[in-house]
Chains A and B, each alone.
Chain A
Amino acid sequence: MNVFIGVLVLAAGALALAGCGEKSQTVSARKSDMAAWQGTANTARAETGWTAGDRESWALHMQKRAQDQNEYTRTSVPAGSSALASVAPAPAPPPASAP
């Protein structure tokens, strides 16, 4: 009988100690993001002219595309040429008259 009680006490103790077990409360590791140069699953909308998975190809393509924002490149008119210089400097506004 005493042995049975002893086993019961030990089991109850072990069960009670289980409550002391600590689970990690740190935020799980952040998800890793796919790099843009690896391409997209939405291939129907992807631009051509570069190779998905090739970092250098993507970087070159993006630099070329960024140059499309440069009207001096798009219009083939070199910056500072007479065609642009004629419209570039705005005339100085007349001085405001005193009230």
Chain B
Amino acid sequence: MARMKFICDTERCIECNGCVTACKAEHDVPWGVNRRRVVTLNDGVPGERSISVACMHCSDAPCMAVCPVDCFYRTEEGVVLHDKDTCIGCGYCSYACPFGAPQFPSNGTFGLRGKMDKCTFCAGGPEANGSAAENEKYGRNRLAEGKLPSCAEMCSTKALLGGDGGVVADIFRTRVLTRGKGSEVWGWGTAYGKPTAANAAPANKS
């Protein structure tokens, strides 16, 4: 079974924010919540790098570990999702997440913190696939439609790759071997474990 993963190729990301826009539009994400955002390091300095960041759907997700009401679950494709009917909006997950993925919409007169919202890998939530209830709470369920996440499919430079881990890793490996640089996969060590010595061979730089 496929294990869904994201890769952001920092050699290609041009900070266009197309992924952010695609996500907002696809899921009708409310004002103040960004399930995905682009972070630029050393902005304005030659050699700056931009990274598109969202939930990485970690193999050993810290948000799942700290949730006091156990609202998280992992699908058989490795996508980390949560149940908004169970979430109490405590915010523990946002402290635990190394990627800043959990978002909390402000609703109510005094900016009351609402239930957590995060990237779903376009896989919806626990409601029936494609149902109105699922769409209202979590957005579109593109995986059940046979599609990949909107952000990755919309990426103009294909810096952001999403899909079966084996396939996207193979695409990235081919790129690195062809261009001879930029083999660093940001966030993968944190999300999916550090590479073992056997798999940590550097890319061919010849």
Contacts and interface: CB of A to CB of B under 8 A. Distances in A.
Query: Are the chains A and B members of one assembly?
Result: yes
Interface of A: 27, 30-43, 45-50, 55, 58-59, 61-63, 65-72, 79-80, 84-85, 88-90
B141 A33 contact: no
A68 B158 CA distance: 10
B70 A27 contact: yes
Contacts, number: 125
Given A33-B73, A65-B163, A50 B146 contact: yes
Interface in B104-158: 123, 125-131, 135, 140-141, 143-148, 152-153, 158
B190 interface: no
Given A31-B83, A41-B129, A36 B143 contact: yes
Interface string B13-38: 00000000000000000000000000
Interface in B64-81: 69-71, 73, 75-77, 81
A56 B73 CA distance: 23
**Most interface-central of B75, B146, B147, B167 (chain A CB within 10 A):** B146
Interface of B: 1-2, 69-71, 73, 75-77, 81, 83, 85-86, 123, 125-131, 135, 140-141, 143-148, 152-153, 158, 161-164, 167-168, 171, 174-175, 177-181
A27 B85 CA distance: 11
A65 B171 CA distance: 12
Question: What is the predominant secondary structure among interface residues of chain A facing chain B?
Answer: loop
A34 B177 contact: no
A80 B206 CA distance: 12
